[in-house]
Amino acid sequence: MEGGCAVSIHPLACVDSKARLGVGVQVEAFSRIEGDVCLGDYSVVRTGAVIRSGVRAGCHNEFCEHSVIGGAPQHAARPVETGSVEIGDHNVFREGVTIHVGLKPENTTQVGDHNYIMAGGHLGHDVVLGNNVIFANGSMLGGHVTIEDKAFISGGVAVHQFCRVGRLAMVGGHARVVQDVPPYMMVDGISGCIVGLNTVGLRRGGHTTPEINELKAAYRIIYRHGLAWRDVLATLRKEFPEGPASYLAEFLAKGTRGFSQERRGPATPTIKLRIPDEEEPVVLRAKAG
């Protein structure tokens, strides 16, 4: 207790005596907190939530109904001793969210600050989640996935193990991500391909018009100039020694799985909706895309 803010534990909650709870923590009915758990000040554990051993969480986190934080890794060769979960401050884990500990004792699944994980989201073992990430309903991250700051993962997205999603990237709903998504890009949910820059996210993130124009130029170097890979990196480093565009070269240089490709179709496809006859000369057409 500090400053009159006692820990509030419902009589029907199950809290291990070895768990360490900060000032003002609220634990609702039918939730469970195991030993070797540390929850920071003013965190809330909602009805039916489970926080397992090995979880270290900061302040002002909300664990909503039936979320399970710190579950065992889903791995066929899971060792007897597994790792931990480290969570920062001001995160929200909505209903049914699952987060698994690191696969090995020395490994950690990491969640930063100010993230919003919506209902049914899953973070596999050894995932690294940055700060200010929006993670929509039913999306899934395989083991060892990295999601950088301010990325937006739409609903129903599946990210393959060991992939990376760069900062301020936006992945469309139901996308299947099997290669790295470079920073600042937007992924189409149907094809899983890049469809341009996340310009709305860039503006909301405080990036200036000159910075966005530089990123557009960098985008063309990566996807439109037809350069060999080593020439892409060299050109980016030469043309953009600083600023947001310079981070693209840094991110791309660390890739091991390849990168999501650009979705490109015919320039001006036309679909005929009606074929006229002699008595009906009017032609209706519509351009696709």
- Express each pLDDT in 120-174 by its tens digit: 999 999 999 999 999 999 999 999 999 999 999 999 999 999 999 999 999 999 9
What's the CATH architecture for 8-144? 3 Solenoid (2.160)
Q: Which of 105, 90, 147 is nearest to 122 (CA)?
A: 147
Residue 51's beta-bridge partner residues?
Answer: 33, 69
Helix axes 229-239, 209-223, angle to 10 degrees: 160
State the DSSP string of 100-159: EPPSSTT-EEEE-SS-EE-TT-EE-TT-EE-SS-EE-TT-EE-TT-EE-TT-EE-TT-EE
Residue 194's beta-bridge partner residues?
Answer: 187, 262
- Predicted model pTM: 0.89
Count other C-beta atoms under 10 Å from residue 213's C-beta: 11
Residue range 254-266: mean pLDDT, rounded: 87
For residue 12, what are the contacts with CB-CB under 8 A and spacing of at least 6? Answer: 29, 30
For residue 226, what are the contacts with CB-CB under 8 A and spacing of at least 6? Answer: none
Distance CA(263)–CA(135), nearest Å, equals 23
Residue 285's pLDDT band (cuts 50, 70, 90): very low
Residue 287's pLDDT band (cuts 50, 70, 90): very low
- Express each pLDDT in 159-186 by its tens digit: 999 999 999 999 999 999 999 999 999 9
Distance CA(6)–CA(48), nearest Å, equals 21
Domain ranges of the chain: 8-144, 209-253
For residue 164, what are the contacts with CB-CB under 8 A and spacing of at least 6? Answer: 145, 146, 147, 148, 180, 181, 251, 255
Residue 278's pLDDT band (cuts 50, 70, 90): low
Helix (H) or strand (E) holding 187: strand 185-187
